């Protein structure tokens, strides 16, 4: 299993594999959410005191999460993925992942082929960045 630097973060094959597996389970049990539904549920799963933002390569509009609109089932599925990612960091890096490492893992998994887990009426916009709204992140 490999690990690599992405800016200040450390991402890994193990967390990415677990994220991919979790997203596959999510889709098979619930179908594909759109980007807004995914972002809302991920925000709720992380339970942080700020919103998440998503920026896209082909879109001029960024999305802002609203965890109050999150589906409970989707939030539970994404919570499981987040916990799996955290367990992989604990086992192999002996620490918890940072928020940006968790978001970076989702970005890595969804960036090249978002349509594997995200639904859209037209072509699925490709994720450029997934980030918290506030500057102080840990």
The three-state secondary structure class of 65 is coil
| CB-CB contact of 4 with 10 (8 Å) | yes
HSE-CB of 14 using CA atoms within 13 angstroms:
16
The whole-chain average pLDDT of the chain stands at 93
pLDDT in tens, 1-50: 699 999 999 999 999 999 999 999 999 999 999 999 999 999 999 998 88
pLDDT for 137 beyond 70: no
* Cα angle 105-17-76, degrees, rounded to a multiple of 5: 70
Better-predicted residue by pLDDT, 19 or 59? 19
Summarize the confidence of residues 108-129 as an average pLDDT. 91
Q: Pull the structure tokens for residue 109.
A: 């998994």
């Amino acid at each position: 299993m490999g690990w690599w630097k992405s800016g200040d973060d450390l991402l890994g094959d193990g967390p990415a594999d677990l994220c991919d597996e979790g997203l596959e389970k999510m889709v098979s049990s619930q179908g594909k959410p759109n980007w807004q539904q995914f972002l809302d549920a991920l925000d709720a799963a992380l339970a942080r005191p700020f919103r998440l933002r998503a920026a896209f390569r082909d879109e001029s509009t960024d999305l802002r999460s609203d965890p109050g609109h999150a589906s409970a089932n989707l939030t539970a599925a994404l919570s499981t993925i987040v916990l799996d990612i955290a367990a992989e960091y604990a086992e192999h890096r002996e620490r918890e992942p940072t928020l940006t490492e968790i978001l970076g893992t989702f970005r890595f998994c969804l960036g090249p082929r978002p349509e594997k887990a995200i639904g859209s009426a037209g072509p699925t916009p490709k994720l450029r960045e997934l980030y918290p709204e506030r500057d102080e992140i840990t």
